[in-house]
A and B are shown apart, each in its own frame.
Chain A
Amino acid sequence: MSNSDAKAGRPLSPHLQIYRWPITMTMSILHRVTGMALYFGTLLLAWWLIAAAAGPAYFDVANAVFGSWIGRLVLFGYSWALIHHLLGGLRHFVWDFGAGFSKSARDNLAYANIIASAILTVLVWVVGLLLH
Chain B
Amino acid sequence: MSMRTPLSRVRGLGSAKEGTGHFWHQRVTGAALAILVTLFLILLIAIAGRPYPEVMAVLSNPFVALLMVLMVAAGAWHMKLGMQVVIEDYFHGGLLIAAVIANTFFSIAVGLATALALLKISFGG
Q: Given the interface contacts A53-B125, A131-B45, does A93 sit within 8 Å of B37 by beta carbon? A: no
A78 nearest CB across to chain B (Å): 11
Instruction: Give the residues in chain A near B45, CB-CB below 8 Å.
Output: 124, 127-128, 131
Instruction: Give the residues in chain B near A45, CB-CB below 8 Å.
Output: 114
Could you tell me if B117 and A89 are in contact, using CB atoms closer than 8 angstroms? no
Could you tell me if A53 and B121 are in contact, using CB atoms closer than 8 angstroms? yes
Report the count of interface residues on B (CB-CB < 8 A): 33
Is A43 an interface residue when CB atoms closer than 8 A count as contact?
yes
Is B86 an interface residue when CB atoms closer than 8 A count as contact?
yes
Interface size for chain A: under 10, 10 to 19, 20 to 34, or 35 or more residues? 20 to 34
Q: Can you name 24 A-B residue pairings with CB atoms under 8 Å?
A: A32-B86, A36-B83, A36-B86, A39-B83, A42-B76, A42-B114, A46-B113, A49-B117, A50-B113, A52-B52, A52-B55, A52-B56, A52-B121, A53-B117, A53-B120, A53-B125, A60-B52, A79-B41, A83-B41, A86-B33, A89-B33, A90-B34, A92-B30, A128-B44
Chain B residues close to A by CB (< 8 Å): 27, 30-31, 33-34, 37-38, 41, 44-46, 48-49, 52, 55-56, 59, 75-76, 79, 82-83, 86, 110-111, 113-114, 116-118, 120-121, 125
